[in-house]
Amino acid sequence: MFNRLTTDTLNKVLIIGAILLVAELSFSNGDLVFTVIFSSLFIYFGWNRYQKIWAKVVFWIGFILLIITIFNMTAFRFLLIAAIIYFFYHYVRSQKSPERVVPYFAKEPIDQQREPLIKIEPLLQQRFFGDQKTYEGAYEWRDINIHGGFGSRIIDLSNTVLPTESIISIRHFVGNITIYVPYEVEVHLLHSSMMGRADLFGMHHEKLLNQSISYITEGYHSNSPRVKIITSIWSGDIEVKRR
């Protein structure tokens, strides 16, 4: 059903939802923002020590509080009502004019045949909760492009053979990112952070508040292999070190 929903229509619904969310945050006197941040911190600290009983309690308190807060948001109610209306509209329409599926076999013209592609499995998966790290043993390198919610990300480039140019792109909400780079690899780093710290080959930034930083090793443009690291964190630290 939802595969019939055009991207343009979906974008309009999301824009309206975003406007309602901003309006709700503007008139909530900071209570809503405080509740979301408070519950998110509970989830983060609870998940990091989840093996302990007290941490499990903290995690689920934060998770339930966050869910209740989301359910009480006007923007969420709007999206829920929009989904119900769309489901009802599609159901009525399908009853009036049922869709007929007729098998059709036709060979595509030679000039319109699809180009053969090889699917590559990502090195790291998208994960909202939990820590992730690359394999401890040797592994085949694949460029990384992921986003995550809560947890840490550890990428060790010393266990793989890098091509001439590689890319690591990570967009993260709360947590730390650690990247181990071999000594012979050149690096170009682009990092942005709302709140956090950065340690880049011994170059320390103790406080990053809504800042972006960029560093490049001396031989990046002339030597290889080289890796471009693009990271974005809402709250967390990044550490890039040689290994």
pLDDT band at residue 169 using 50, 70 and 90 as cut-offs: very high
Structure token digits, residue 8 = 């343009």
Give domain status of residue 207, yes or no: yes
Give domain status of residue 116, yes or no: no
Domain co-membership, 132 together with 92: no
Query: Given a cut of 60, is residue 1 above it in pLDDT?
Result: no
Give domain status of residue 117, yes or no: no
Domain co-membership, 144 together with 232: yes
Domain co-membership, 92 together with 132: no
Domain co-membership, 85 together with 17: yes
pLDDT of residue 21: 75
Which of 56, 76, 96 is the last residue in one of the domains? 96
Give domain status of residue 113, yes or no: no
**Higher-confidence position of 156 and 136:** 156
Give domain status of residue 106, yes or no: no
- Tell me the average pLDDT across 77-92: 78
Domain co-membership, 135 together with 84: no
Domain co-membership, 153 together with 230: yes
**Higher-confidence position of 90 and 65:** 65
- Tell me the average pLDDT across 237-243: 90
Tell me the pLDDT tens digit for each residue of 194-213: 888 899 988 888 888 888 99
Rounded Cα gap, residues 181 and 227, in angstroms: 9
**Number of domain units in the chain:** 2
Domain co-membership, 135 together with 50: no
**Higher-confidence position of 5 and 149:** 149
Q: Nearest-CA neighbor of 199 among 243, 239, 152?
A: 239
Which residues are within 8 A (CB) of 65 and not within 5 positions of it... i.e. 6 or more apart? Answer: 35, 38, 39, 42
pLDDT of residue 102: 58
- Tell me the average pLDDT across 124-140: 81
Give domain status of residue 103, yes or no: no
Asked whether 128 and 149 are in contact (CB, 8 A), the reply is: yes
Cα dihedral sign, 165-150-131-121: negative
Give domain status of residue 110, yes or no: no
Domain co-membership, 139 together with 62: no
pLDDT of residue 29: 62
Tell me the pLDDT tens digit for each residue of 90-122: 777 766 666 555 565 555 555 556 778 878 788
Looking at the DSSP bridge assignments, the partners of residue 190 are 214, 230
Query: Given a cut of 90, is residue 188 above it in pLDDT?
Result: yes
Give domain status of residue 156, yes or no: yes
Which of 73, 96, 119 is the last residue in one of the domains? 96
Summary mean pLDDT of the chain: 81
Domain co-membership, 230 together with 187: yes
**Higher-confidence position of 143 and 88:** 143
pLDDT of residue 226: 93
pLDDT band at residue 6 using 50, 70 and 90 as cut-offs: low
Query: How open is the CA angle 168-185-167, to the nearest 5 degrees?
Result: 15
Which of 96, 113, 146 is the last residue in one of the domains? 96
pLDDT of residue 187: 93
Tell me the pLDDT tens digit for each residue of 14-59: 777 777 777 777 776 667 777 888 888 888 788 777 778 888 888 8
Domain co-membership, 139 together with 51: no
Look up the domain containing 223 and give its range: 127-242
Q: Phi and psi for 95 in degrees, rounded to 5?
A: -70, -35
Domain co-membership, 142 together with 189: yes
Domain co-membership, 8 together with 80: yes
